[in-house]
Amino acid sequence: MTSTTATPRKRLFIRTWGCQMNVYDSARMADVLAPIGYAPAETPEGADMVILNTCHIREKATEKLFSELGRLREAKQARRAEGGEMVLAVAGCVAQAEGAEITARAPWVDIVLGPQTYHKLPEMVARASRAAGAVIETDFPAEDKFDHLPDAAAPQGVTAFLTVQEGCDKFCSFCVVPYTRGAEFSRPVAGVLAEARRLVAAGAREVTLLGQNVNAYHGEGPEGRSWGLGRLLRALAEIPGLARLRYTTSHPRDVDDDLIAAHRDLPQLMPFLHLPVQSGSDRVLQAMNRGHTAADFLRIVDRLREARPDLALSSDFIAGHPGETAADFEQTMDLVRRVGFAQAFSFKYSARPGTPAAGAPFQVAEADKDARLQALQALLREQQDAFNRSRVGMTFPVLFTGPGRHPGQVAGRSPWLQPVHLTGPLSLIGTEAPVTVLAAHPNSLSGLLAAGDAPYDVQPEEEPAPA
């Protein structure tokens, strides 16, 4: 007679900075480590492994990383004093760009890995347990990491991310992505469709396709020919139970006729598009190496809105790119007024080491960058508020994704990605139901169900504007 003892589960904590693709990557890292015994932990304290999944896009990304590593050094020492060990890993784009500096400044880091190598994490953990120094994996491997990821994945919930494309061939002057994520690569159609079906089977009703330049997608189709994003969206729309589709982040140069037609033809494709323009000045766009003009962007917007009249737009803007004059900035403001955005992300230019713009002449003074950013954000906030108010009195389907902030509240997403909350039963989660909007708040809408035996009272909730 034999007895078996369950293997103790090891605790894994992942801190994620940056874009939705990093969120997706963090989830897949957890999936890769699950077969060797790692289960999620709520905090880094006492965890057997901590991964910092970094982003190089935001300002002061490196400084934030080393600040966090300093705190984790103490947690690692405390863990060792208790008789345990903590494997500390740095992943993502900062790891890819600055692996040597990380190990030099923080020698207590055990593993440094780039975004293309996390499928090797179990092997890296084993090597770290034997190695005297850090294990570093920041090369661009020849094999496709997606071929080595497990099919089994933790459910993401009602809404889910799905990476279909990685890397960038555009080489914008301000951006590190081509250096940290590599050249553009598209996953084969079969792999994308298979993962989408698994997500839906696990409860996802809305799937957002991810890519650094997602609309540059050119994956191999089942017949051996390349598919564009429009054709991929059509195939995804045929999956039973998949109610909503979105994609991000796109580039104006890769908006083609078939993608515009998909916005016209597919009810599952939500009427919200994030389309970064960065500047409204042709002179600055040329300095940025964007490959399009302001007029090109406006023509694309007009064609998209002709195809889908209820389409709402989001974008990215940089204030104070090297060489930008006050007149250039005013052209950006003119473009914003011309288009009208439902939301947007805006930043003042900050140099990224190794990018062409970092060493460019005519750097803009910090005071001028600050003033321009404040003016731009004020206009964008005004447009977002106006768009939110324009939804008041409308009735449209809301996909309910979870409980709200207050007892008795349930929350969801509008077709335009706005958070919507109302008082209602948690049984709504995972369903789509019509909601009449009664009030608009800085970052959300509130309303009541438009159908049913018992109406639900609105519970207004004021929210602070994002910093």
> Per the annotation, where are the binding residues for [4Fe-4S] cluster?
19, 55, 93, 168, 172, 175
In the numeric block, the tokens 């508020």 are attached to 385
CB atoms within 10 A of CB 446: 23
Q: Which residues are annotated as a binding site?
A: 19, 55, 93, 168, 172, 175
Ramachandran region, residue 330 (left: φ > 0; alpha: ψ -120 to 50; beta: rest)? alpha
**Residue keyed to tokens 């207004």:** 460
Q: Which residues pair with 185 in a beta bridge?
A: 166
- Joined tokens for residue 80: 């060792």
What tokens were used for 210?
């991810």
Q: Rounded to an integer, what distance in angstroms lies between the CA atom of residue 2 and that of residue 400?
A: 49
Round to whole Å and give the CA distance between 111 and 23.
Answer: 19
Look up residue 385 and give its two tokens: 């508020």
- Contact by Cβ (8 Å): 139, 117: yes
